Amino acid sequence: MNSPAPKIRPAIRLLDEAAINRIAAGEVVERPASAVKELVENALDAGARRISVDYAAGGKVLIRVTDDGCGMGPDDLPLAVARHATSKIDGSDLLNIRSFGFRGEALASLGAVGRLAITSRVRGEEGHRLVVEGGRMGAVVPASAAPGTVIELRDLFYATPARLKFLRSDRAEAMAIAEVVRRLAMAEPLVGFTLTEVAEGEPARVILRLDPENGDFFDALQRRLTRVLGAEFTANALRVDVERDGLHLSGYAALPTYSRGTSVQQFLFVNGRPVQDRLLYGALKVAYLDVLSRDRFPAAVLNLSCDPERVDVNVHPAKSEVRFREPEAARSLIITGLRMVLAQGATRASSTVATATVEALRPEAPRVYQMDLASRPSYGALSAAFQAQAPGFAEAPSARVEPVAETPVDHPLGAARAQLHENYIIAQTATGIVIVDQHAAHERLVYERLKAQRDASGIPTQALLIPEILELSAADHARLLAFADDLAGLGLVLEPFGGQAIAVREVPAILGQASAKALLADVLDELTDQGEAPSLKAKMDAILSRMACHGSIRSGRQMRAEEMNALLREMEATPLSGQCNHGRPTYVELKLSDIERLFGRT
């Protein structure tokens, strides 16, 4: 047997500077939003009071950041694009970091993978310009410029085309850029931010405009959060200002009754730096543990500040992760501090709850549509009243359910015999009983029907004679308009109505008299939480799931026997009807043998 040929020993070689920069860029710049984050943070470190961000094609074609900071001189420009050259630290103490940037990698990385141009001017001096393309640096030349710096990045990843394949759609990348700017704007309320989408041959579209706030920091932060998150958040948020053992927690935390269906309104900062830290998010959840159900999430904007030497921000090139020297002290302050604040506001309910209660008690005027709801196609075997009024059925006086005697019990879910607490249907089967949660069950039925309608000929809509006008935050307004065409395919027709207002013109017919405001709130939560779903269909399915809740039979609605039996038959004919859209069971079945064991009859 011949012995294997010896392997050739690979030679060890030094990579050239361009290759090193391209490799480093993969850690620092994952997508256009990463580049925006690095450039805006540099502008903040330069003392800017106003920062403008322009982008095209989701940042793939153009990213331009303009600031009115201190600027750079001609000798500074070549150093600014050199790796590990920085004005933020001197290298003697990597823990005493008091700026956003400090690694000296961002501009070198951007110049290695794109076409980078820096134009800068120090007040009282002449302006200069430097261009770097694919790691190749040009000469510094005089240029006309306002005081401050303009950094223009074109054709991101043109030097590493393989990276382009991993980027998401232009819309998804644009949404990520907007999220980065909003987070930094929340951290710096005294700085003005403008975010603009530009496209060749089209007028520029301002996505976000936030003027610098003035006055007391908390007042400024509250005004900034009103602009970014909406007035409902700040109207239902408690001021947080607690300090212990050199740690200071500040910001705003929402009342428990203003909880959200996802974690989309949780924004955490450490020394003003936006972070994604499991320890901090876990502490926030624990702080609300006794006042929120498990499927609800608190809303909060919180900054934990401390001596820089007590937290290590040099964990990852993206600087979104941190490590505390005393993690338990940070965790304890968040939990105890928030619980104390929540206890002070314990007797206060959110305005959203009060509004909903008043609306529920007030006699509701009938909503006028261009089509007669009663003329809609029949919904399976449900009765006419069941079809026409869901989910807003007229309340009937409490009465004993009279079951339909001829209904056979040999159906899988049996025959309805009673309704308990206006929410649970008791059905008799051939071998036992079934207890059905009417709301959860109907939610699944509505969801499956919406999907079937969409995949067949489209979801029938009902047009409002009087469109419902809703004022939104800038972020929510932009997000809804970005998906307006897709939502129209789901039967929810929206259009801009000036400023930050949205006009709801049509809603899915199956939802009946659903509240447009509540419906849009759930749609926005889903859009924000999903980000870029595996596919557009998956994202739209998730939205349909949220919408189905608004078209379902509500708890507390008395049902006649024929309505209950119609619901049972629909469940038997509908796939996945054993659980609601959120994974909870829609019914529980008890065999006679199970019941007999309960009474010791075995």
d(CA 537, CA 323): 38
Q: What values do phi and psi take at 65, rounded to 5? A: -115, 120
Write the CA distances from 600 to 378, 433, 435, 594, integer angstroms: 46, 18, 21, 10
Show the CA angle centred on residue 261, arms to residues 260 and 262, nearest 5°: 90
Average of per-residue pLDDT across 192-205: 94
Look-up of token digits 């379902």:
552
d(CA 598, CA 433): 14
pLDDT at residue 347 tops 50 = no
pLDDT at residue 368 tops 60 = no
pLDDT at residue 386 tops 50 = no
Query: pLDDT band at 316, cuts 50/70/90?
Result: low
Q: At what angle do helices 32-45 and 170-187 cross, to 10 degrees?
A: 20
d(CA 72, CA 77): 7
Average of per-residue pLDDT across 40-67: 96
| Model pLDDT, residue 120 | 96
Query: pLDDT band at 54, cuts 50/70/90?
Result: very high
pLDDT at residue 522 tops 90 = no
| CATH fourth-level superfamily of 373-588 | MutL, C-terminal domain, regulatory subdomain (3.30.1370.100)
| Model pLDDT, residue 359 | 45
pLDDT at residue 460 tops 70 = yes
Fold of 17-210: Heat Shock Protein 90 (3.30.565)
pLDDT at residue 57 tops 90 = yes
Beta bridge partners of 270: 273, 304
| Model pLDDT, residue 182 | 97
Fold of 217-353: Ribosomal Protein S5; domain 2 (3.30.230)
Query: pLDDT band at 405, cuts 50/70/90?
Result: low
Query: Lowest-pLDDT range, 17-26, 510-519, 538-547?
Result: 17-26
Average of per-residue pLDDT across 129-157: 94
Percent of residues, the chain, with pLDDT higher than 70: 79
Look-up of token digits 């543990």:
289
Which pTM value belongs to this model?
0.66
d(CA 584, CA 582): 6
**Which tens digit of pLDDT belongs to each residue from 153-178?**
999 988 778 788 889 999 999 999 99
Mean residue pLDDT of the chain comes to 81
Average of per-residue pLDDT across 565-587: 84
Query: Lowest-pLDDT range, 263-267, 386-390, 431-435?
Result: 386-390
CB 214 within 8 A of CB 206: no
Domain boundaries, the chain: 17-210, 217-353, 373-588
